[in-house]
Amino acid sequence: MTKDHTEGLTRREFVAGLGVGALAMLASGCVPRPPLVSSNPSGFPTSEQLAKSELRVYNGQKLDSITASRENSIEGPQYVDKKSWRLTVDGLVDAVKTYTFDELIAAFPADKQVHRLDCVEGWSETQLWEGVRVADVIKASGVKSAAKMVILHGHDGYTTEFPVGYFDESHLLVYKLNGVDLSAQRGYPLRLGAWSKWGYKWIRWVERIELSADTTYLGYWESRGYSATGERSQPSL
């Protein structure tokens, strides 16, 4: 979904307005693909360039190309400068922490897993997701007992929320897909993998992890009518 579609409409209204035929098209995947990258400042490899060295099979599992996603970001792809980028963990923590990208990678062990991302628009992609464990990063700051929610903030102003207990040892803050760096479109330098959730919980361009007592907080799509838990085993609307 592009920003234009949502102006003056909630995504629920937009989806409702599509009608049955268009929904069937969405479900069958025959939707015209917008260009993957709207404009590409020099120095940022495109998904297509990165895909030349991507893995397409891992441990016998077939992987979709990193170019398979449909651009639907609220403000378009973000071109984040890795050198000035920081990840901050703050809010109801014992110690506020700020990491450069290299500090983050050095501080926590890496893991990789194959998972499928499902967007509520009706498309999916299965890829190899590699990064550091969210739970490790949160734990390193010390969570105060009053903290009930984890609110993640993206460079484009996007947010999404989870109960403090959601992240187990599998969930990752991802910096590689199919064995290559994230492209700007896919969330460079860091995005979330929230395996049991709909795609709108897999926030890209993460720069802040906030521990909060506010159990009523709703993120970008959650505040526009989408399920707050966002479990993909349940309807998103």
Q: Select from ligand MTE, Mo ion, none the partner in contact with residue 203, using the beta carbon and a kind-dependent cut-off of 5 to 8 Å.
A: ligand MTE
Tokens read off for 15: 């989806």
For residue 69, state whether it binds ligand MTE (rule: CB under 6 A): yes
Residues 187 and 79: beta-carbon distance below 8 Å: no
Q: How far is the CB of 198 from Mo ion (least distance, A)?
A: 7
Residue of 186, 206, 220, 208 lying closest to 50 (CA atoms)? 186
Binder of ligand MTE out of 104, 117, 135, 150 (CB under 6 A)? 117
Q: Please state whether beta strands 110-118 and 124-133 pair in parallel, antiparallel, or not at all (unpaired).
A: antiparallel
Q: How far is the CB of 143 from Mo ion (least distance, A)?
A: 28
Cα separation of the two ends of the chain: 15
For residue 114, state whether it binds ligand MTE (rule: CB under 6 A): no
Q: Select from ligand MTE, Mo ion, none the partner in contact with residue 164, using the beta carbon and a kind-dependent cut-off of 5 to 8 Å.
A: none
Residues 86 and 190: beta-carbon distance below 8 Å: no
Q: How far apart are CA 16 and CA 10, in angstroms?
A: 10
Q: How far is the CB of 221 from Mo ion (least distance, A)?
A: 8
Q: Which CB atom, from 149 or from 177, has the smaller least distance to ligand MTE?
A: 177
- Other CB atoms within 10 A of residue 32 CB: 6
Binder of ligand MTE out of 99, 188, 202, 217 (CB under 6 A)? 202
Tokens read off for 36: 């993957």
Residue of 12, 18, 23, 73 lying closest to 225 (CA atoms)? 12
Q: Which CB atom, from 69 or from 229, has the smaller least distance to ligand MTE?
A: 69
Q: Which CB atom, from 113 or from 142, has the smaller least distance to ligand MTE?
A: 113
Q: Select from ligand MTE, Mo ion, none the partner in contact with residue 117, using the beta carbon and a kind-dependent cut-off of 5 to 8 Å.
A: ligand MTE
For residue 199, state whether it binds ligand MTE (rule: CB under 6 A): yes
For residue 152, the cross-strand partners are 160, 209
Q: Which CB atom, from 141 or from 185, has the smaller least distance to ligand MTE?
A: 185
Tokens read off for 128: 């190899």
Give me the residues that bind ligand MTE (CB under 6 A), please: 69, 72-74, 117, 119, 154, 156, 158, 186-187, 199-200, 202-205
